Amino acid sequence: MTLEETYYEINRILGNSVEPLEPVRLVETYRRYLKPESVRVVLLAESHVFTSDEDRRIRISRCRRRSSQLVV
């Protein structure tokens, strides 16, 4: 089942109370980008926050790391 098919099936079950598809696609993009080639440790955690259309329109500058500091 594709991401979109899964989304629409969940939407059918839960009704219109689910997030728009765009944030779901964005999270999947992040997940694939951050996924390591090999896994040494698996940490299972549950965390979800509703992302509104307004929140998704916020733009931040790219970040780069310098030693232990995060530089914006």
pLDDT in tens, 12-61: 998 878 888 998 998 899 989 988 899 899 888 877 777 788 887 888 77
| Residue 68 pLDDT > 70 | no
At 56, give phi and psi (nearest 5°): -70, -20
Which residues constitute the domain of residue 32?
3-71
pLDDT at 64: 62
| pLDDT band per the 50, 70, 90 thresholds, residue 72 | very low
| Measured distance CA(27)–CA(69) in Å, rounded | 25
At 59, give phi and psi (nearest 5°): -115, 140
Instruction: Please tell me the total count of domains within the chain.
Output: 1
Dihedral sign of CA atoms 12, 14, 17, 19 in order:
negative
Provide CB contacts within 8 A for 56, sequence distance 6+. 22, 23, 26
In this structure, are residues 24 and 7 in contact, taking their beta carbons and an 8 Å threshold?
yes
